[in-house]
Amino acid sequence: MKFRRKPRETVDINLASLIDVVFILLLFFVVTTTFTRETELRVDLPEAVSGSPAEDQEVKQLDIAISADGVFSVNNQVLPKNDLATLIEALQKESAGDPHLPLSISADGKTQHQAVITAMDAAGKLGFSHLRMTTVEAAPAP
């Protein structure tokens, strides 16, 4: 007995609808993408000659320390209040009105951002231009 085989139909994949979907997705991504232009800052770093200051010449420096609770201290003297006016008064007293002294701000890692901004605001209002934020070196990952 001889069985007849059905003739095989050729299977064609309709690529037109696939291409339409790909073009629509491409159009969607092009329209919804925002193109930002990266800006570059030109920074001219100052030159320095290595060396140490003369031993008989002591360089005065101001240091603002901020604890995790937001308590300010200026040159290791804790301030009675944690507000801008008290901090400005303490900085004026310690600097004797000289805004050219170097000023460093040391804040705990868990300090609220507002406390650091308050310290920077006080330094800006008094005209300090040599401002430095101090950090500690991170421990190497194991």
CATH code (residue 80): 3.30.420.270
Segments forming the whole domain that contains residue 81: 62-136
pTM metric for this prediction = 0.55
Q: Give the 3-state secondary structure of residue 108.
A: coil
Query: How big is the CA angle at 108 (ends 80 and 128), to the nearest 5 degrees?
Result: 70
Please determine, for residue 59, whether its predicted confidence score (pLDDT) is greater than 80.
Answer: no
Q: Give the 3-state secondary structure of residue 59.
A: coil
Please determine, for residue 75, whether its predicted confidence score (pLDDT) is greater than 80.
Answer: yes
pLDDT at 64: 87
Long-range contacts of 83-89, Cβ-Cβ distance < 8 Å, separation of 24 or more: 83/118, 84/118, 84/121, 84/122, 87/118, 87/119, 87/122, 88/122, 88/125, 88/126
Specify if 21 maps to a domain: no
Measured between alpha carbons, how far is 119 from 128 in angstroms, rounded to an integer? Answer: 11
| pLDDT level of residue 22 (50, 70, 90 thresholds) | very high
Specify if 22 maps to a domain: no
Q: When comparing pLDDT for 22 and 108, which is higher?
A: 22
pLDDT at 36: 67
Please count the other Cβ atoms lying within 10 Å of the Cβ belonging to residue 62. 21
| pLDDT level of residue 95 (50, 70, 90 thresholds) | confident
Question: What is the strand order of the sheet 77-78 is part of?
Answer: 77-78, 72-74, 62-66, 103-107, 131-133
Specify if 7 maps to a domain: no
DSSP state of 99: T
Specify if 2 maps to a domain: no
Please count the other Cβ atoms lying within 10 Å of the Cβ belonging to residue 118. 20
**Number of folded domains that form the chain:** 1
Specify if 103 maps to a domain: yes
Mean pLDDT of the residues in the chain: 78
Q: What percent of the chain has pLDDT over 70?
A: 76
Specify if 26 maps to a domain: no
Specify if 31 maps to a domain: no
Specify if 18 maps to a domain: no
Please determine, for residue 24, whether its predicted confidence score (pLDDT) is greater than 90.
Answer: yes
